[in-house]
Amino acid sequence: MAKPALLAVDDEPEVLRSIERDLRRKYGQRYRIVRAESGAMALDAVNRLKERAETVALLLADQRMPVMSGVEFLAQATQVFPSAKKVLLTAYADTNAAIAAINQVRLDYYLLKPWDPPETHLYPVLDDLLEDWRAQYKPPFDGLRVVGYRWSPHSHAVKDFLGRNFFPYEWIDLTGRDEDPNIRRLLENELRDTANFPVVLFPDGARLERPEPSALADRLGLQTSAGTSFYDLVIAGGGPAGLAAAVYGASEGLKTALIETEAPGGQAGMSSRIENYLGFPSGLTGSDLARRAVTQARRFGVEIISPQTVSGVRLEDPYRIVRLGDGSEITSHALLIASGLSWRKLNVPGLDRLTGKGVYYGAALTEAVSCRDEHVFVIGGANSAGQGAMHFAQYASKVTMILRAGSLTKSMSRYLIDQIEAAPNIEVLTHTEITQALGEEHLECLTLRNSATGETETVRASAMFIFIGATPHTDWLDSLLAMDERGFIYTGPDIPREDGKRLPRGWKVDREPFLLETSVPGIFAAGDVRHNSVKRVASAVGAGSICVQMIHEHLAHLSRLAERAAAAHS
């Protein structure tokens, strides 16, 4: 297979030679470097690459070119290679054009000329963009294949597990494809017993039939058990807060293990687009953010144990001992609870029976392509629902958002509201609720009720995605920590005190709890699981990061106590 191309275009010969030299020196082994002296020549090169079934990973264009500007070239070239990353070369005076291009052509980055030295001003930017491109690029497929039925909850679970754990796969949907000769040949030669679907086919010829996540994880080489019995820091939960704490903790010398029940990223990892995260002007997907964070954590030596559950905690001062779902235990000096939230179930007749068969909780991004040209319903009015609606609108013929409230403004960011209002195939029904879900083998209809008028109607529906608030993952703590009535964990000054008492009841150390410390010394909480936390990705990342400083102070306190005990016995 031909190497992906990096295409550079600039009408100044010396600049073009410089670009080509720098690209070839760094990327020549993995990519084909293509150059052009004008926008027209570059478009001709793009079309020739397409005709030869080659691909372009990166388009690097100068803005100030005669006849065709860099932005004009990028707009046309991305119609041929829509997944190519787009970079604009600009002079300082052209930055306004570059910023405008972010909206016009979804520009990924703009670079000011000159970029010397490239090791500082060019390569880090392109490294990041090309890593993103490779993560999303789908070459002619020779990897995992998942064969099953669209309306099978087990098939959905397998696809969701692979997608959220960053394993690319080809989905072969048998629903309604009996006449497809390729499918018929597959059934006749390889998969004769349809009762065992879904089936995961591996490149080496191996297969797993109706696999559970643990079996898939073992076959794919994921770490599902701890590598040792003791850590400085154990983190329960791999969402943004847990991943941030893992990166900062390990980078500062703490032996760190992160335990995640499903897949790194948490609910944020399922976000189709996060556009207000600092430093990413074009936005990024939740899976991109999770993948970057996982790579960064592993680089610093974090053990990511997933899929694995935390089933309990016990105390043997000064240690916090975590019990895992497989019955094993690991010991630590400090425990961070960042176990996040789960979507609250919608109590409506018919939903339980149809869950996984057209009814899904959360974004379920793996189902988006299956919804092409269909009518999709999104239940909820917060950012996660808005991001989901925008994503599904790229595939569905129509997306209907159902809100019990009177508008989106109470719980959704303004930028998302503006996008939803501008989307031609998204409608928002306010003062509306679902009263029944109907269907035999899968979701077919929904009954809607307008709470303002009392009117009801039954509408056709292919899929429904539910984002209606969440409940904290704290039931495994068995009342060990102080929590509010909904199960969110109190920390720092929010921990209840008895009248007139400076410290919480049962507090056993001679200091007050740190800001993110729970009612048990050495156990911390960050992210959505914490009482009164801000439900935003940036807030969770910030809390996970600053929590590490408090963990260091706790460890220093333990060290001082150990020194005093040793001195007393000497």
Q: Is the dihedral of CA 283, 287, 290, 292 positive or negative?
A: negative
User: What pLDDT is stored for residue 93 in this prediction?
Assistant: 58
Helix (H, G, I), strand (E, B) or coil at 86: strand
HSE-CB for 532 with a 13 A CA cutoff: 9
Alpha helices in 393-496 (DSSP H): 414-422
Please tell me the distance from the alpha carbon of residue 21 to that of residue 270, in angstroms, as a whole number.
Answer: 39
- CA distance to 140, 160, 399, 425, per residue, from 385 (Å): 33, 18, 11, 15
Numbers of helices and strands, H then E, in the chain: 15, 26
Residue 186 has pLDDT above 70, yes or no: no
Q: Is the dihedral of CA 17, 22, 25, 28 positive or negative?
A: negative
C-beta of residue 200 within 8 angstroms of C-beta of residue 144 = yes
Q: Is the dihedral of CA 128, 260, 341, 153 positive or negative?
A: positive
**Is 3.50.50.60 the CATH classification of the domain at 351-468?**
yes
Please tell me the distance from the alpha carbon of residue 54 to that of residue 307, in angstroms, as a whole number.
Answer: 37
Phi, psi of 361 (to 5 degrees): -100, 125
Question: Which residues make beta-bridge pairs with 109?
Answer: 87
As given in the structure block, the two tokens for residue 348 are: 């409506």
Average pLDDT value for residue range 111-124: 86
Alpha helices in 310-435 (DSSP H): 351-354, 383-392, 414-422
Place of tokens 């899976």: 287
In this prediction, what percent of the chain has a pLDDT beyond 70?
Answer: 94
User: What pLDDT is stored for residue 275 in this prediction?
Assistant: 84
User: What pLDDT is stored for residue 1 in this prediction?
Assistant: 57
Residue 254 has pLDDT above 90, yes or no: yes
Res. 400 pLDDT band, cuts 50 70 90: very high
Average pLDDT value for residue range 331-344: 93
What secondary structure letter does DSSP report for 355? B
User: What pLDDT is stored for residue 181 in this prediction?
Assistant: 63
User: What pLDDT is stored for residue 5 in this prediction?
Assistant: 94
pLDDT digits 0-9 by tens, 521-567? 999 999 999 999 988 899 999 999 999 999 999 999 888 888 888 88
Please tell me the distance from the alpha carbon of residue 77 to that of residue 46, in angstroms, as a whole number.
Answer: 7
Res. 155 pLDDT band, cuts 50 70 90: very high
Please tell me the distance from the alpha carbon of residue 201 to that of residue 207, in angstroms, as a whole number.
Answer: 5
C-beta of residue 9 within 8 angstroms of C-beta of residue 65 = yes
Q: Mean pLDDT of all residues in the chain? A: 89
Average pLDDT value for residue range 264-289: 84
Q: Pairing between strand 375-379 and 463-466?
A: parallel
Domain ranges of the chain: 5-136, 149-220, 230-342+486-564, 351-468
User: What pLDDT is stored for residue 94 in this prediction?
Assistant: 64
Residue 223 has pLDDT above 60, yes or no: yes
3-state SS of 185-244 is HHHHHCCCCHHHCCEEECCCCCEEECCCHHHHHHHHCCCCCCCCCEEEEEEECCCHHHHH
HSE-CB for 189 with a 13 A CA cutoff: 7
Residue 409 has pLDDT above 80, yes or no: yes
Please tell me the distance from the alpha carbon of residue 399 to that of residue 392, in angstroms, as a whole number.
Answer: 7
C-beta of residue 333 within 8 angstroms of C-beta of residue 555 = yes
Burial of 396 (0-12, 13-18, 19+ CB in 10 A): buried
Residue 180 has pLDDT above 70, yes or no: no
Residue 177 has pLDDT above 70, yes or no: no
**Which range scores top for mean pLDDT: 283-297, 327-341, 553-567?**
327-341
Average pLDDT value for residue range 92-102: 68
Please tell me the distance from the alpha carbon of residue 238 to that of residue 77, in angstroms, as a whole number.
Answer: 38
Fold of 5-136: Rossmann fold (3.40.50)
pTM of the model: 0.77
pLDDT digits 0-9 by tens, 187-210? 665 665 656 789 898 888 788 989
pLDDT digits 0-9 by tens, 4-30? 999 999 999 998 999 999 999 999 999
pLDDT digits 0-9 by tens, 434-458? 999 999 999 999 999 999 999 999 9
Report domain 230-342+486-564's class.
Answer: alpha beta
Helix (H) or strand (E) holding 97: helix 95-104
351-468 and 230-342+486-564 share a CATH fold: yes
Res. 402 pLDDT band, cuts 50 70 90: very high
Place of tokens 């005076």: 93
Average pLDDT value for residue range 418-439: 95
- C-beta atoms surrounding 327 within 10 Å: 7
Helix (H, G, I), strand (E, B) or coil at 345: coil
Please tell me the distance from the alpha carbon of residue 526 to that of residue 541, in angstroms, as a whole number.
Answer: 9
